[in-house]
Amino acid sequence: MTIKGLIFDCDGTLADTMPLHWRAWSTVTAKHKLHFPEERFYAMGGVPSRDILKLLRVEQGLNIDPLAVAKEKEEEYIRIMHEVTLIDEVVAIAREHHGKIPMAVASGGNQTIICRVLEQLGIRQFFNAVVTSEMVVNQKPAPDIFLEAARRLGVDPRFCRAYEDTDIGMIAIRSAGMEAVDVRTMRCHTKLSPAALSR
């Protein structure tokens, strides 16, 4: 099957942001006395902060405002965001296909922050569309965000290949009927060419 569109998650896929997100989460959850272990944070990769906080509030019976605490977490992340670096193996694929095939970002993050990260890393221009959590009703593992990215590219989902770093994201891609690439299997293969990685 000919692939006509590429879609990339951002955090942990294009950008090595997850350790910084964890630092921000650690600060905010300690302040609000929320129990949120690191392994659970990584397992919930791709889920918007506000949704994680709604779940924690119910589970732990704490009187917090999920939207307000999510904003605090975003502000803490922005404070350290200058430390973000590229995930070279994945960005090499986007760079190789720039101008040859339409590409989009599909992220469970916040639009403003995701665009800032892409611009800071000098890769925003690679993508025809950036779809984030505010633009869809159902979040990963629902397929909505990937389907919306394909719609904005004007490509049938069956002809899209999508890249992700979480189990939740992989479920979303497959539910969208797209070819799924788990970038966690690529990050140790730094000597492969972009062409090899994108096959």
**Active site positions, annotated:** 9
| Separation in Å, CA 124 to CA 14, 19, 94 | 11, 21, 11
62 is written with which tokens? 């704490």
d(CA 137, CA 119): 26
Q: For 44, list phi and psi in degrees, rounded to 5.
A: -100, 15
For residue 112, give every residue at least 6 positions away whose Cβ sits within 8 Å of its Cβ, in sequence order, or none: none
Going along 45-197, which residue ranges are E strands? 103-106, 129-131, 160-164, 179-182
Interatomic CA distance for residues 154 and 150, integer angstroms: 6
